[in-house]
Amino acid sequence: MEHSKSYDRHILITGGAGFIGSHVVRLFVNQYPNYQIVNLDNLTYAGNLENITDIETADNYTFEKGDITDLSFIQTLFQKYSFDSVIHLAAESHVDRSITEPLEFIKTNVLGTATLLQVAKETWKNDWNGKLFYHVSTDEVYGSLSLGKDMFTEETAYDPRSPYSASKASSDHFVRAYSHTYKMPIVLSNCSNNYGSYQFPEKLIPLFINNILHEKPLPVYGAGLNVRDWLWVEDHAKAIDVIFHKGRLGETYNIGGHNEWQNIALIRLLCRLMDEKLKRDNGSSEKLITYVKDRAGHDLRYAIDASKLEKELGWKPSLQFEEGLSKTIDWYLENTKWLENVTSGNYQKYYEAQYQNR
């Protein structure tokens, strides 16, 4: 890292070794050479530095390994880098894990967010000018919709129903509380389900791509009738860029793809595309579909109305779903080494090999 250079902004991005965070870090490092980007990540099972090898030697980029719940460590980081902004993505993010380990979610998502807020407040409180705390959140805080046409808007009342969404709802409330109580400049976005490259293969799309590749069963929860609204991760990263630069302070923006799919329909499309790409007999991947016990408290439907973001800031998704899904499958098929490292656990050795002796 070039210490002597003077940067226009000093930005802390948390969770930048994760799925969405890695795309956000890449976009900011490449797009804004005059911003200093510090990526803070604790490298939990979901954090993978192999997601961002392409930018790890950039002058304006630094990686810091650490825990967002560690108050004194966060204080030291704020002193070291004089951050003016935080883009906060670090979280425990998988609903199924939140059902078996809810306390981890409360610790990271609630206490971790509150710790970052508290240090930012103490550091910035005498001059809020030019400061920003941006919280990246989920549409799952709004609860579950019935099958139909209604959608979540920014005015929809919070109704979280899984330990994951309850912890994210709580962290959203803390961010707004710091704005109301201390006048902290904040912005929030609540996004629908993301898909794309570098997603940990425990989430539906990469898990099923990996299972089809290895001809393993595809575990469909319940009858597969739940509906999700899917957005290409790079479109999410672009939305975060736009909101970070142009979003009105104190506001919330919903981000979504206007792209609802019943799980079983999406899985059938995925199977068809995989058969074509792997040159397998038509219908062979569908034979792997296995209906399993439903997820406890499984939210039926999510759908996002992203018109505020579109009207105010001019953002809209760039990719049609079938094209995005096809590109995504191609990426996993071209990056089988990445997939193997993740599934074998080898990716966790990357930090020791590349960073520890620096």
* Binding positions for ligand NAD, rule: CB under 6 A: 14-15, 17-21, 41-44, 46-47, 67-69, 89-93, 108, 112, 136-138, 168, 191, 193-194, 200
Which of ligand TYD, ligand NAD, none sits in contact with 131, Cβ below 5 to 8 A by type?
A: none
Query: Should residue 226 be labelled a site residue for ligand TYD when binding is judged by CB under 6 A?
Result: yes
Residue 45 binds ligand TYD (CB under 6 A): no
> For residue 45, which phi and psi values (nearest 5 degrees)?
-55, -25
Q: Which does 41 bind (CB under 5 to 8 A by kind): ligand TYD, ligand NAD, none?
A: ligand NAD
Burial category of 127 from C-beta neighbours within 10 Å (exposed 0-12, middle 13-18, buried 19 and up): exposed
Q: Which is nearer to ligand NAD, 41 or 234 (CB)?
A: 41
Q: What are phi and psi for residue 80, nearest 5 degrees?
A: -65, -40
For 353, the enclosing helix (H) or strand (E) is helix 350-354
Helix (H) or strand (E) holding 344: helix 336-344
Which of residues 228, 236, 238, 301 is near ligand TYD by CB under 6 A?
228
Q: Rounded to an integer, what distance in angstroms lies between the CA atom of residue 110 and that of residue 166?
A: 9
Whether 164 is catalytic: yes
Question: Contact with ligand TYD (CB under 6 A): which of 95, 186, 237, 240?
Answer: 95
88 is an interface residue for ligand TYD by CB under 6 A: no
CB of 129 vs ligand NAD, minimal distance in Å: 27
139 has catalytic annotation: yes
- Greatest CA span in the chain, whole angstroms? 66
Instruction: Give the nearer residue to ligand TYD in terms of CB position, either 26 or 203.
Output: 203
Whole-number Å distance between alpha carbons of 16 and 149: 35
Distances (CA, A) of 176 to 27, 129, 164, 170, 198: 26, 18, 19, 10, 31
Residue 263 engages ligand TYD in binding (rule: CB under 6 A):
yes
Residues 6+ apart with CB under 8 A from 348: 43, 45
Q: Which of 41, 92, 139, 260 is catalytic?
A: 139
Is position 102 an interface residue for ligand TYD (rule: CB under 6 A)? no
What is the nearest approach in angstroms of ligand NAD to the Cβ of residue 47? Answer: 3
**Contact partner at residue 204 from ligand TYD, ligand NAD, none, CB < 5 to 8 Å by partner kind:** ligand TYD
Closest among 55, 50, 52 to 339, alpha carbons compared: 50
319 scored as a contact of ligand TYD (CB under 6 A): no
- Please calculate the CA angle 346-351-353 and round it to the nearest 5 degrees: 80
User: Which position among 41, 50, 92, 140 bears the catalytic label?
Assistant: 140
How would you label 67-91 residue by residue, b for 16+ Cβ within 10 Å and e otherwise?
bbbeeebbeebbeebebbbbbbbbb
Q: Between 167 and 211, name the residue whose CB sits nearer to ligand NAD.
A: 167
What's the CA gap between 119 and 221, in Å, rounded? Answer: 41
Question: What tokens appear for 102 in the block?
Answer: 């809810």
Q: Tell me which of 203, 236, 238, 301 binds ligand TYD, using CB under 6 A.
A: 203
Q: Burial, 153: exposed, middle or buried (Cβ in 10 Å; 0-12, 13-18, 19+)?
A: middle
Q: Does 188 bind ligand TYD (CB under 6 A)?
A: no
The residue within the footprint of ligand TYD, chosen from 204, 212, 231, 325 (CB under 6 A), is 204
Q: Under rule CB under 6 A, how many of the chain's residues touch ligand TYD?
A: 12
Binding site for ligand TYD (CB under 6 A): 95, 193, 203-204, 207, 219-221, 226, 228, 263, 295
Catalytic residues: 139-140, 164
